[in-house]
Copies of this chain bind each other. A is one copy, B any other.
Amino acid sequence: MREKVCVREVGPRDGIQMVNTILPTEQKVAWCRAAVAAGVCNIEVTSFVPPKVVPQFVDAEDVARRAIEIDGLRASALVPNLKGAERAFALGVPLVNYVLSASEAHNLANVRRSTDESMADFARIAEARDALEGPRIALGAGIATSFGCTISGAVSEDRVVQLAEQYAQAGADEIIVADTVGYADPAQVRRLMARVVSAVGKLPVLCHFHDTRGLGLANVVAALEAGVRAFDASLAGLGGCPFAPGATGNINTEDTVYMLEQMGFDTGIDVAALLALRAEVESWLPGERFSGAIARAGLPKTYSARLDTAA
């Protein structure tokens, strides 16, 4: 029995947030369907930001409604505030993700309020969730710039742990620790994630790494050691960094799955099927950077035989 690790696809949200092409709803849903057919059980399918802010997500309701109906998929959606959360709640999105920033300066720049004010907003979202009837909706609670900030530099590890605890007390069902700007290194990841995992007790903890400086998969290895068993990733590494023009985005789904499977973990995901999906999505997004090593080099001869390699 191999140990399970969850790889959540965030391509349809983080991956396409900054691309030049507005994907038709039909393609977004087709992407989700094909990913599920490849074994992906968790997808962040859209963002309930105001359409004026990110035109890519003008069809958030349509995408979410159709994604929820896909068999075998636990769809999630990002919400920036209570208003966004109410839109997601109205549709019954099973997992609603919120995010604030551990860096005060980054939080101020992003949403013009302090991190504490953003935490108070989360508490209001959790109250609204608790008041809902019907099946319980889970809340994912994200901490951006957990490993450093392009504005203020270093971020206090104590502060990240404190925010995770506050989230847990306020009603979060999952904690998402994000390296929004690609500053994390494996020693820091191992240290901080061990503290977060320990602080929030039984709540699942997920890491959201960007590969901006090439350490994405090294950071996954460090997080695994700290007990993390869930990761966000984006097909083809889509999702550039606004703070590092030309840099790569989220860690690459195909490469992450390849590494985890080769290490002996069970992701339930078929890399070859992901590569076929990648080729299709690439045809939809002309001019975007599609990164990834497995797409270039192919799977090794030992891949299917991995269970036999320990001598």
Q: A: which residues have CB within 8 A of B? A: 148-150, 153-154, 156-159, 181-183, 185-188, 191, 211-215, 217-218, 220-222, 225, 241, 244, 246-248, 252, 255, 258-259, 262-264, 292-294, 296-298, 300-302, 305, 308-311
**In the complex, what distance in Å separates the CA atom of A215 from the CA atom of B213?**
14
How many copies of this chain sit in the oligomeric assembly?
2
Enumerate chain B residues within 8 angstroms of A258, measured Cβ to Cβ: 213-214
**In the complex, what distance in Å separates the CA atom of A181 from the CA atom of B156?**
40
**In the complex, what distance in Å separates the CA atom of A244 from the CA atom of B299?**
10
Enumerate chain B residues within 8 angstroms of A148, measured Cβ to Cβ: 300-302, 309
Q: How far is the CB of A106 from chain B (nearest CB, A)?
A: 12
Additional pairs, 9, CB under 8 Å, beyond known A187-B262, A246-B296: A148-B302, A149-B301, A157-B309, A159-B311, A188-B309, A212-B297, A217-B217, A218-B259, A221-B221
Enumerate chain B residues within 8 angstroms of A241, measured Cβ to Cβ: 297
Contact between chains at B311 and A150 (CB < 8 Å)? no
Enumerate chain B residues within 8 angstroms of A293, measured Cβ to Cβ: 211-215, 247-248
**In the complex, what distance in Å separates the CA atom of A247 from the CA atom of B299?**
12
**In the complex, what distance in Å separates the CA atom of A72 from the CA atom of B311?**
41
**In the complex, what distance in Å separates the CA atom of A153 from the CA atom of B301?**
5
Of the candidates B212, B220, B244, the one whose C-beta lies within 8 Å of that of A218 is B220
Enumerate chain B residues within 8 angstroms of A297, measured Cβ to Cβ: 182, 212-213, 241, 244, 246-248
Contact between chains at B185 and A262 (CB < 8 Å)? yes
Given known A154-B309, A218-B218, contact A213–B300 (CB-CB < 8 A): yes
Q: How far is the CB of A17 from chain B (nearest CB, A)?
A: 18
Enumerate chain B residues within 8 angstroms of A300, measured Cβ to Cβ: 148, 150, 181-183, 213
Enumerate chain B residues within 8 angstroms of A149, measured Cβ to Cβ: 301
Enumerate chain B residues within 8 angstroms of A296, measured Cβ to Cβ: 244, 246-248
Q: How far is the CB of A224 from chain B (nearest CB, A)?
A: 8
Enumerate chain B residues within 8 angstroms of A156, measured Cβ to Cβ: 311
Contact between chains at A153 and B305 (CB < 8 Å)? yes
Q: List 22 A-B contacts (CB under 8 A).
A: A148-B301, A149-B301, A150-B300, A154-B305, A154-B308, A154-B309, A157-B309, A157-B311, A159-B311, A182-B297, A182-B300, A183-B300, A185-B259, A186-B221, A186-B263, A188-B262, A213-B294, A214-B255, A215-B262, A221-B221, A244-B296, A247-B296
Q: How far is the CB of A221 from chain B (nearest CB, A)?
A: 5
